[in-house]
Homo-oligomer: A and B are copies of this chain.
């Protein structure tokens, strides 16, 4: 908040407060215990629908339901009949052509990431995009090839078919060129089967209504992951930019191996390639910058990528770079489409885990962008249908030799910013790609690979900006920073698939960590308000004589019940073992009974130098502190005190469970045990602020038995405090 804003806010506060000050918070009612509430509150009748009725309702068939199902499966049926041609068509055409012009070079480039020949990138930019028009619910995202997914595909393809791959049928006598073609064909097979699997997984997850899985990919995780992907991509493209011929690596530590390989071979850099690549890089970066700067003035963004493709193709053709300067070019691009072929399912078994990772990442990229646009343009997307749509696009297209697609951020922004209104824009983009495939694909054969590498790298520069998250997260949340860094490090080092798994596991563990490191505090009352605050932090909070209120902001379950109990004993400074020990000691003249007291004092001193205000009890015990002096005063005194009730000491402990969401059997047992321990030394434990679902959990766990009863439970801390003060009539607060 800027200082100026803050002032206004403060002014507003005063105003509101003035208005509120007239308004009194006034409650006057008997103190309720849970036992009383149980006798008073009437439960509404349970709903009487049986499981059978529910099932019947669920599987009820009606024409309306059937219609709704068809409409939700084929969203095009809902929007196309209502398509306002005059209003929308022009915008969709402009946007479609602009997107198509970006789709084309990205398709060629990302095929390199996927380790397949460029033409497959074009196929992948056509079939799925076409299909999405029918099944998709988002009007603005641009489906097609995407760097991160392509890279994941590529790393699997390279792992399954390494550079040293020998086709099983041909002997090793065949020529080197044949080997490369065979290897590429095999890699295409792997990519295609992977895509089929991804499609099947996405469809099944969508049908099972698993659209929620994307929530596990929290923002810091996704940002760390995409930054790591950018690192992978840049490293994998270095060799194309330099024109160095090195092996392609996959699996854990592949980044390091790749860099090492490129560096050790750096002397063989092809200068022409490097210069051409750098020129493209600088040009694209400048265009990107211009597009961002003059966003509002340009009718459509300058299509830098297609310019780079056309110009560099022209230069390459004109100067015959491939022959004269040994610049690597795209090479053969067959014209026309391929007939559908069933994928080679013999590869299936080794690819299942990879395809799960790719399916989830692809979906979550898609849905997060779709949601952003839906929010902006005020419509809604159905995450389950999106899952099914992506799955269908991948599944059906894979029969036509495509690799996995999802939506790409950069392209979607082009589609939206050039005024795209509906899925028609995507349709037109795909038709533009089709035109290239069937008519002029061969034109791009002299296109240098270094230009494609430049396109890929510039597209990912945005992701490197995400490093700026680090200082921001440092300030706002250390835990989220940890998620970011762990995700990044794991994804860079272990590879994107294992890295993602590791990152998700880590992110979930942070939740456990949060419940395990709750904030524990002793509360005191803010005079005459019925509000209770941490005595360590607020000067107004005053502890009541003889009552300790222990607050914790986490649920109590197996992983933190021990910590809860020990924090309780430490923070309140009342340890039943020590009291027990000191009582025993009183009966044995030799042992030192001041142990308890000194231990308690130590516990107190740990809390810092803050002196807690304890209001004088009964005007005589003013110098007693937590009843410690009475409890174990020294040997002579304690003998006399054995039978005197120690009134000044802590008689009640109130457990504030206002912030406990759930409890399990281990937690319930631990609490019950500690209640018993305290009861043995005449300290009564009360529980305050439980919500009703926690209470019914406690009932199920048979918590209320033996010495624990519902009249020890109070709806608010204030009720519990009043009850204590009533049972201990002389105390004040």
Contacts and interface: CB of A to CB of B under 8 A. Distances in A.
Interface of A: 1, 5, 9, 12-13, 16-17, 19-33, 35-36, 39-45, 47, 212, 215-216, 218-220, 375, 378, 380, 475-477, 479-480, 505, 507-509, 511-512, 514-515, 518-519, 526, 528-531, 533-534, 536-540, 551, 553-555, 557-563, 577, 580, 608-610, 658-662, 664-666, 673, 689, 691-694, 697, 700-702, 704-705, 709-711, 715-716, 718-719, 722-723, 726
Contacts of A530: 27, 29
28 contacts: A9-B709, A12-B709, A13-B33, A20-B33, A20-B36, A23-B723, A24-B28, A24-B29, A25-B32, A32-B531, A42-B539, A42-B540, A44-B537, A215-B558, A218-B664, A219-B558, A220-B665, A375-B673, A477-B664, A511-B559, A514-B661, A515-B661, A518-B661, A519-B693, A553-B693, A555-B661, A658-B659, A659-B659
Given A42-B540, A662-B514, A726 B23 contact: yes
A27 B30 contact: no
Given A20-B726, A511-B512, 6 more contacts: A13-B36, A27-B530, A44-B539, A219-B558, A476-B700, A515-B515
Contacts of A24: 28-31, 722
A487 to B, nearest CB: 13
A561 B23 CA distance: 34
Contacts of A562: 212, 215
Contacts of A518: 661
A305 to B, nearest CB: 33
Contacts of A41: 526, 533, 538-540
Contacts of A19: 726
A536 B47 CA distance: 10
B13 A710 contact: yes
Of the listed residues A20, A218, A537, A562, the one surrounded by the most CB atoms of chain B closer than 10 A to its CB is A20
Nearest to A374: B577
Given A659-B661, A661-B661, A694 B30 contact: no
A528 B691 CA distance: 19
Contacts of A691: 519, 551, 553, 658-659
A509 B511 contact: no
Contact of A17 (B36, B534, B540): B36
Given A215-B560, A665-B219, A25 B16 contact: no
Contacts of A551: 691
B718 A43 contact: no
Looking at A40, A476, A536, the one whose CB has the most chain B CB atoms below 10 A away is A476
Contacts of A12: 709, 711
Contacts of A378: 577, 580
Nearest to A723: B20
Contact of A47 (B35, B219, B220, B609): B609
Contacts of A31: 20, 23-25
Q: Nearest 6 A-B pairs (CB), nearest first?
A: A218-B558, A13-B35, A27-B530, A42-B539, A519-B693, A553-B661
Contacts of A658: 658-659, 689, 691
* Integer count of this chain's copies in the complex: 2
A212 B517 CA distance: 13
A4 to B, nearest CB: 13
B215 A559 contact: yes
A43 B538 contact: yes
B515 A511 contact: yes
Contact of A558 (B44, B507, B509, B673): B507
A372 B689 CA distance: 31
B35 A16 contact: yes
A526 B27 CA distance: 12
Nearest to A705: B1
A623 to B, nearest CB: 22
A577 B22 CA distance: 36
A615 B164 CA distance: 79
B25 A722 contact: yes
A47 to B, nearest CB: 5
Contact of A25 (B29, B475, B666): B29
Contact of A27 (B9, B27, B608): B27
B23 A30 contact: yes
B42 A538 contact: yes
Contacts of A30: 20-21, 23-25
A47 B536 CA distance: 10
Contacts of A563: 212, 215
Given A711-B12, A726-B20, A537 B29 contact: no
Contacts of A689: 658
A5 B27 CA distance: 35
Nearest to A28: B26
A22 B727 CA distance: 12
Contacts of A40: 540
Given A16-B33, A538-B43, A479 B661 contact: no
A260 to B, nearest CB: 24
Contact of A608 (B47, B609, B704): B47
Nearest to A712: B16
B559 A718 contact: no
A560 to B, nearest CB: 7
Nearest to A531: B715
Nearest to A13: B35
A368 to B, nearest CB: 11
A443 B1 CA distance: 85
A17 B29 contact: no
Contacts of A610: 44-45
A44 B536 contact: yes
A296 to B, nearest CB: 23
Contacts of A475: 700
A218 B9 CA distance: 49
Contacts of A559: 215-216, 218, 508, 511
A479 B558 CA distance: 12
Contacts of A692: 533-534, 537
A20 B39 CA distance: 14
